[in-house]
Structure formats: C-alpha cells, structure tokens
Amino acid sequence: MSRTVLITGANGTVSTALAKALEGSDVNLRALVRDASKAEGLHATEVFVGDLDDARSLPPAFEGVQDVWLLTPNGPRAPENNMNAVWAARQAGAERIVRLSVVGAAHDAPNRSGRLHALSDQETKQSGMSWTILRPHWFMQNLLNEAGDIAATGTFSQNMASARLGMIDVRDIAEVAARVLLDDPDRHHGETYTLTGPRSLTFDDVAGQLSLALGRSVTHLPVSDDAKRKTLLGYGVPSWIVDMLEEYAQAYASGWGDFTTGTVTDLLNRPPRDIADFVRDHTPAFN
Ligand SMILES: NC(=O)c1ccc[n+]([C@@H]2O[C@H](COP(=O)([O-])OP(=O)(O)OC[C@H]3O[C@@H](n4cnc5c(N)ncnc54)[C@H](OP(=O)(O)O)[C@@H]3O)[C@@H](O)[C@H]2O)c1
C-alpha cells in the first residue's frame, strides 16, 4: 500500500519543489496549507487546512500519515510550530519525520534562526519516530528577491561584503528530501545532512554568472547593514526577520558560510546544480 506523506509549508519554495520531485512516485501526497485558496496548482492528492500556530487544527491532517515533511516558517514561533507538528505526528502514530533545518543550526549559532532550528532538531531527534534532518545552505532562489532590481537597474545589493557561500539550488534540496522519503525509513534514520551547492561563491561571482546568462552587465553593490535594513523595512519585511538576516549577513561576511559538502552528490549520485544552471533556468525572472 502507498505511504501517505504529509507536506507542511506546501505552497512555499522548498515544499513546492519537493511535491514536484515526488511527482510520479508511489506515494499519497497530502498537502497542509493554511489557506485552501493557496492549494490551487499544488502537486498533491489531498489538501488539508491547518495552522502550525494552532495545535487543535492539526489532527485531521496527520491522521493516517506515515511520513511527515516538516518545514517551519522563519519567525519566533518556529519551535512552537515544530512542537505542534511533532505532537500531532506522535498522536497520529506517524513513523518518520524528515525535517528541514538550516546550515549551521546549533545552540551557539551566531544567528537566531540557527539557534531556534537547533531546538527543533533536538526535539525531532527525541520524538521516538524515525528522523532525518536536512541542513541546507543559503538558497540560490533567494536571488529571486533581487530580480526586480536586476531587471530595472542591472544591480543588486547585499550587506555581506566579499562573503563566499556554498549556496544551493532548492531543487536539489527537494530531490534529496524526495530520495530520503522514498527510501526505507531505516535507511536515513538518525542522519543530519548538510547540503550545499558545488562551489563557494561571492556575490561578484553571482553577478558574473547573471551577466553571462542575461547578456548584459549585472553588478553586485556591497552595502552597509544599515542600508540593507532600511531597504528591507521599506519593503515591509518584519523587523524580527530583518534582524535575523543581518545576523546571517554578519556571520557570512566573516567567512562562516565558506564551505561545501559532498552530501548532495553522495545521496543523488550526481553533482548539485551550479549557479550557472540556476541562472540559466531562471533567466526570464531577471529580465
Ligand atoms: N532561505 C534560505 O536561504 C534558507 C536556507 C536554509 C534553510 N532555510 C529554512 O527554510 C525554511 C523556509 O522554507 P521556504 O523558503 O520554503 O519557506 P517559504 O517559501 O517562506 O514558505 C513558508 C511556508 O510555510 C507556510 N506557513 C507559514 N506559517 C505557517 C503556519 N503558522 N502554519 C502552517 N504553515 C505556515 C507558508 O504558508 P502561507 O503561504 O500560508 O504563509 C508557506 O507555505 C525556514 O525554516 C528557513 O529557516 C532557509
């Protein structure tokens, strides 16, 4: 009988890619969304409405589920969201949790997101269910936030100086998650996989790749933390998120993200997508 996989954050960046990666496989794909109207177009067999902020909304979605893809949104309530999902999974008798964490998650990480994810990773490990934790590096898809500026001005701004990051294409995270979910639960139980792209890149490198793909000059403009903060607040980004991003930027500027791993290659038997692949496949977004 097919296993039922519950996808949390179903209409978000990573989970949308995961549902696509699971397309055609022998699983019953159940999506959890907060708003049914956002479920249109999702690659899912079933859609359940529930809110990770509200434990009482979750039991129907977890009923009959074997595998949970657990993605918590960024924010101060992330550990509560994880706790609510883990509890609902336990109550429903789920067998496995595959959890999306973050690069460098640790109780002493230099950023609040890393410290909050460490709490949820710990809880998940002690859930009594089979567990696998994915800790991906900075998403290449974050560059899509700069697409408007790149299209309009041929420039984009980052407050990470000459930081190098082992950035990863979300499609590779999704394919790793799908691999784990399609393998036997014992196969990856107890594993924490740190996922990166194939090389560590500066934003000048990224600008060079964008220039090549778009056939026009794209320039990276290093800016101060204060300038970036002002821009993000101006776009309406919540101050908690702005603070979090600044903590990451400072860590990355000091070299914290300058590494790659071979984990994607080990798990998928092929190298991860390069930045050149990402920009080629997203060219229309930057034009
Ligand atoms: N960006 C990076 O570089 C990076 C790197 C490593 C790890 N991460 C981790 O990736 C995660 C974010 O993934 P993403 O980029 O795919 O997220 P995303 O695109 O922002 O999507 C977040 C999803 O969570 C849902 N959601 C928000 N609040 C919810 C709630 N209370 N109950 C149920 N669902 C809720 C959203 O639904 P609505 O549409 O209803 O809001 C949406 O589907 C975070 O945990 C972050 O730490 C990010």
Residue with tokens 């956002």: 38
140 C-alpha to ligand 1 centroid (Å): 15
Q: How far, in Å, are 18, 172, 174 from residue 94 at the CA level?
A: 19, 26, 21
Average pLDDT in the 211-217 region?
97
Residue type, 238: P
Average pLDDT in the 266-279 region?
98
**Domains recognised in the chain with CATH numbers:** 3-139+168-195 (3.40.50.720), 141-164+198-258+273-286 (3.90.25.10)
> In angstroms, rounded to a whole number, what is the distance separating the alpha carbons of residues 263 and 167?
13
Q: Is the pTM of this model over 0.95?
A: yes
Which residue owns the Cα nearest ligand 1 atom 40?
Answer: 34
Q: How many CB atoms lie within 10 A of CB 205?
A: 16
- Structure confidence at residue 86 as a pLDDT band (50, 70, 90): very high
At residue 254, the pLDDT reads 97
Q: Would you state the structure tokens that stand for residue 81, as one six-digit string? A: 């969201």
Average pLDDT in the 26-38 region?
95
What integer best gives the mean pLDDT of the chain? 97
> Does 41 score more than 90 pLDDT?
no
Q: Would you state the structure tokens that stand for residue 31, as one six-digit string? A: 């999506």
Does ligand 1 come within 6 angstroms of the Cβ of 17? no
> Does 43 score more than 90 pLDDT?
no
Q: How many CB atoms lie within 10 A of CB 243?
A: 12
Q: Are 29 and 45 in contact (CB under 8 A)?
A: yes
Does ligand 1 come within 6 angstroms of the Cβ of 250? no
Does ligand 1 come within 6 angstroms of the Cβ of 16? no
> For 97-145, how does the pLDDT look when each residue is reduced to its tens digit (9 = 90+)?
999 999 999 999 999 999 999 999 999 999 999 999 999 999 999 999 9
Residue with tokens 């930057």: 286
Average pLDDT in the 6-25 region?
97
Which of 221, 64, 62 lies closest to 155 in space, CA to CA? 221
> In angstroms, rounded to a whole number, what is the distance separating the alpha carbons of residues 123 and 89?
13
> In angstroms, rounded to a whole number, what is the distance separating the alpha carbons of residues 129 and 131?
6
Residue with tokens 């290659």: 265
At residue 4, the pLDDT reads 98
> In angstroms, rounded to a whole number, what is the distance separating the alpha carbons of residues 191 and 279?
31
List of long-range contacts for 47-50, beta carbons under 8 Å, 24+ apart: 47/10, 48/6
Best of 8, 16, 34 for a ligand 1 pocket test (most atoms within 8 Å of beta carbon): 34
For residue 53, which atom of ligand 1 is closest to its CA?
Answer: 31
At residue 33, the pLDDT reads 97
Give 265's contacts (C-beta < 8 A, 6+ positions apart): 271, 272
The DSSP code sequence of 76-89 is TTHHHHHHHHHHHH
Best of 7, 8, 14, 49 for a ligand 1 pocket test (most atoms within 8 Å of beta carbon): 14
> Does 1 score more than 90 pLDDT?
no
